[in-house]
């Protein structure tokens, strides 16, 4: 188990470095991410290089038994770069420059930025690739975190090249973007601009490509640095830090280029769904490289500085949140940062070593955590632990949230609602692409799969045909990979699978449409329309109870499906709200609205029972979270009351045999409990609830 933090010794005089190493040892730290923002210290001017201080720090760490995750230091160009090469600065959609003075002020597609960053990485790699302390490479930092869209001339040129490679001919691009609409037909690639400020909606197909392009540009920055490291003979794992479900970067496309997946996660103490949302993030991250443990590169020991209000963590929460990462596949627990800064924007951000010193609650929590992680030792790799897969797809995210749709959908929020219904039941979930639906799950959940690629549809259809249970809808199988309707209406790929014909979207709205109906919508009217749309609901009855759904009440007609629930209000009264269809050896459910919380719970309960899905541990007390990675079951009591959980196995920290695990509030237990023993119990639990 790796334990440590970002380490920024360049912010401190040399006298502090020895104390740092001594205290790191005291806290159980065995790895640090070094020099992430040290470019200006390493290269204070274009032709001046200073590695002496870095040599000293690395040697001190090595002598102290602390391993180094060496940063390539390219995330914040020094002032001389911006002053000498203004073409490296990014530009916003209205043509205004972003200026230096913060960080990440570089245009990802700027050839000059890439050249200068490349030279820095080459020198670092040549100097340290063989250093025995360096065990990993930390490329850049949170690519795109603050600035993910650059509309500069560098971006314009790179975009034209990217489109030329993608489409080959301008005719192919015109067809893919449907440019005969609104006189947008291009005569050549050099007529295309990034989607800079325009009077009204940009072409949605072009926006989808722009999103793909901006994700690719950030990835290219990473790949360019990776190539340089490899060329210099680096043999250590190379990766960069992800940010969970981060919309601008399609991490599923990035993942194959990462030797290990690393993630940064800062659960918001004020978020009532903090535990659910963090669990989803960790499951997403684990699922990016199935079977391979990942690393948490950044979390906060206590408060952050960047939300409007920044409360600290309640006692025990640090351990509980850490355990959630381990439970869901992490083999490394790290923080931003080792020593709290005394200057700069992040001086109010917590750290492992607070500015107030070691006589602090935080230092106590940090050393205790270090000791517990050391006691854990090696843990089993994540296994094939989930029976349920939840489809979450970046291209679909981008497309479904484009404007001018029947209703506005927050794809991540909606995905989290579905995830939460399984999380509430202690059911483990993998997060997958539609294309991965076939790989051995019992239940695939694919909400709002608006943009559906053919390969994704085939995998989903095969999955059902082979005996799996699918639930999908609403607003699913509407467009192709260019965000165009397919010929033949909607549900053109999955219609047979769900046994439905799709007639209309049935967007719901509250009492005000927000617009006068004449002229352009004012900003205020748009706001009002948004609020009204969010209030719109439709009722339906399911399993003898009445429920409501929101966003849409679609008009769908059963061509083979059984109608399980029908709308009771609105335009679609009497028409199908939830359906179930046999297809091959499996079955496909369709929901024609977004079920509200109670309705979702009822639908998920029915799906769980139809598909034979079991929770990780049966009979979990309220507030207790359980997750499995191979033979390891982790139990976390997020509740306010003590709990007792029946799991038999061996306590991974103490080696003691256990059958009943007591958990204090925020208490955590790691139990080695082989899969067979657990599923036998889970079977009987599932049987009991089904009755």
Q: Which residues are catalytic?
A: 142, 298
Local structure of 190: helix, strand or coil: helix
Residue with Cβ nearer ligand GLA (187 or 309) = 309
Best CA proximity match to 188, nearest among 158, 164, 153, 156: 164
The position carrying tokens 């994540």 is 382
DSSP assignment of 555-569:
EEEESSPEEEEEE-S
Q: How far is the CB of 336 from ligand GLA (least distance, A)?
A: 4
- The distance of closest approach from Cβ of residue 241 to ligand GLA in the complex, given in angstroms and rounded to an integer, is 6
- Which pairing describes strands 2-7 and 31-34: parallel, antiparallel, or unpaired? parallel
Residue 661 in contact with residue 635, Cβ under 8 Å?
yes
The number of angstroms, rounded, from the C-alpha of 100 to the middle of its chain's C-alpha atoms is: 28
Q: Which is nearer to ligand GLA, 240 or 472 (CB)?
A: 240
Whether the Cβ atoms of residue 266 and residue 299 lie closer than 8 Å to each other: yes
Handedness of CA 175, 176, 179, 184 (dihedral sign): negative
587 exposed, middle or buried (CB, 10 Å; 0-12, 13-18, 19+)?
buried
**Residues 471 and 460 sit within 8 Å (Cβ to Cβ):** no
- Residue closer to ligand GLA by CB (options 146, 190) is 146
Q: Regarding beta strands 586-591 and 576-583, do their DSSP bridges make them parallel or antiparallel, or are they unpaired?
A: antiparallel
DSSP tally for the chain: helices H, then strands E: 19, 26
Task: Specify the residue, 117 or 620, whose C-beta has the smaller distance to ligand GLA.
Answer: 117
* Cβ at position 264, least distance to ligand GLA in Å: 4
Binding site for ligand GLA (CB under 6 A): 141-142, 264, 266, 298, 304, 336, 346, 349
Cβ distance to ligand GLA smaller for residue 10 or 142:
142
Please report, in angstroms and rounded to a whole number, the separation of the first and last CA atoms in the chain: 43
Instruction: Find the helix or strand (DSSP H, E) in which 535 lies.
Output: helix 523-535
**In the complex, minimum distance from the CB of residue 349 to ligand GLA, in angstroms, rounded to a whole number:** 5
Q: Are residues 301 and 340 in contact, defined by beta-carbon separation less than 8 angstroms?
A: no
Q: Report the alpha-carbon distance of residue 331 to residue 676 in Å, rounded.
A: 24
Closest distance of CB 304 from ligand GLA, Å: 5
296 and 329 Cβ atoms separated by less than 8 Å: no
In b/e form, how buried is each residue of 110-140, taking b as 16+ CB within 10 angstroms? Answer: bebbbebbbebbbbbbebbbeeebbebbbbb
Q: How far is the CB of 334 from ligand GLA (least distance, A)?
A: 11
Q: How far is the CB of 142 from ligand GLA (least distance, A)?
A: 4
Nearer to ligand GLA, 337 or 407 (CB): 337
The CA-based angle 444-678-646, given to 5 degrees, is 115
Residue showing the smallest CB distance to ligand GLA in the complex: 336
CB of 218 to ligand GLA, least distance (A): 14
Output 249 or 658, the one with its CB closest to ligand GLA.
249
Tell me if residue 687 falls in helix, strand or coil. helix
336/475 with CB nearer ligand GLA: 336
């Amino acid at each position: 188990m790796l334990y440590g933090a970002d380490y920024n010794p360049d912010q401190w005089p040399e006298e502090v470095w020895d104390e740092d190493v001594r205290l790191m040892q005291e806290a159980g730290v065995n790895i640090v991410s070094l020099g992430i923002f040290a470019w200006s210290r390493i290269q204070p001017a274009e032709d001046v290089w200073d590695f002496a201080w870095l040599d000293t720090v690395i040697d001190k760490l090595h002598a102290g038994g602390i391993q180094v995750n060496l940063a390539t230091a390219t995330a914040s160009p020094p002032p001389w770069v911006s002053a000498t090469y203004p073409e490296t600065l990014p530009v916003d959609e209205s043509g205004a420059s972003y200026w230096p003075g913060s960080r990440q002020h570089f245009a990802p597609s700027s050839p000059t930025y890439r050249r200068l960053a490349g030279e820095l990485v080459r020198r670092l790699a040549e100097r340290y690739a063989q250093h025995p302390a360096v065990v990993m490479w930390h490329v850049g930092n949170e690519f795109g975190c603050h600035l993910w869209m650059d509309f500069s001339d560098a971006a314009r040129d790179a975009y034209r090249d990217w489109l030329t490679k993608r489409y080959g001919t301008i005719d192919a691009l015109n067809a893919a973007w449907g440019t005969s609409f609104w006189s947008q037909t291009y005569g050549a690639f050099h007529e295309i601009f990034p989607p800079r400020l325009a009077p009204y909606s940009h072409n949605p197909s072009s926006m989808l490509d722009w999103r793909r392009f901006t994700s690719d540009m950030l990835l290219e920055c990473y790949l360019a640095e990776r190539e340089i490291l490899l060329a210099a003979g680096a043999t250590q794992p190379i990766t960069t830090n992800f940010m969970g479900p981060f919309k601008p970067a399609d991490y599923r496309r990035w993942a194959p280029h990462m030797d290990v997946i690393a993630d940064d996660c800062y659960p918001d103490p004020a978020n009532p769904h903090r535990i659910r949302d963090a669990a989803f993030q960790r499951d997403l991250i684990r699922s990016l490289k199935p079977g391979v443990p990942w690393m948490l590169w950044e979390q906060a020991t206590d408060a952050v500085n960047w939300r409007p209000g920044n409360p600290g963590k309640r006692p025990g929460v640090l351990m509980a949140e850490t355990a959630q990462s381990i439970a869901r596949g992490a083999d490394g627990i790290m923080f931003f940062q080792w020593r709290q800064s005394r200057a700069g924007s992040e001086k109010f951000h917590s750290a492992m070593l607070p500015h107030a010193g070691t006589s602090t609650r935080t230092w106590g929590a940090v050393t205790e955590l270090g000791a517990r992680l050391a006691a854990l030792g090696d843990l089993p790799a994540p296994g094939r632990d989930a029976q349920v897969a939840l489809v979450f797809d970046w291209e679909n995210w981008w497309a479904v949230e484009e404007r001018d749709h029947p209703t506005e959908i927050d794809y991540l929020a909606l995905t989290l609602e579905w995830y939460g219904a399984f999380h509430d039941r202690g059911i483990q979930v993998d997060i997958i692409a539609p294309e991965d639906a076939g790989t051995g799950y019992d239940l695939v959940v694919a909400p709002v799969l608006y943009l559906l690629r053919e390969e994704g549809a085939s995998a989903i259809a095969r999955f059902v045909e082979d005996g799996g249970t699918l639930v999908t809808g609403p607003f699913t199988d509407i467009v192709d990979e260019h965000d165009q309707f397919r010929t033949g209406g909607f549900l053109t790929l999955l219609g047979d699978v769900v046994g439905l014909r799709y007639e209309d979207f049935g967007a719901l709205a509250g009492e005000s449409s927000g617009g006068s109906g004449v002229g352009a919508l004012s900003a205020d009217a748009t706001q009002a329309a948004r609020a009204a749309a969010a209030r719109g609901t439709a009722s339906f009855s399911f399993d003898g109870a009445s429920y409501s759904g929101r966003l849409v009440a679609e008009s769908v007609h059963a061509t083979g499906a059984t109608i399980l629930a029908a709308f009771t209000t609105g335009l679609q009264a009497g028409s199908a709200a939830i359906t179930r269809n046999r297809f091959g050896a499996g079955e496909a459910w369709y929901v024609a609205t977004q079920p509200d919380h109670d309705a979702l719970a009822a639908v998920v309960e029915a799906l769980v029972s139809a598909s034979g899905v079991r929770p990780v541990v049966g009979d979990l007390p309220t507030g207790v979270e359980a997750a499995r990675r191979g033979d390891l079951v982790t139990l976390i009591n997020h509740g306010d009351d003590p709990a007792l959980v029946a799991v038999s196995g061996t306590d991974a920290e103490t080696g003691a045999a256990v059958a009943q695990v007591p958990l204090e509030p925020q208490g955590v237990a790691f139990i080695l409990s082989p899969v067979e023993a657990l599923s036998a119990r889970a079977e009987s639990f599932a049987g009991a609830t089904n009755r």
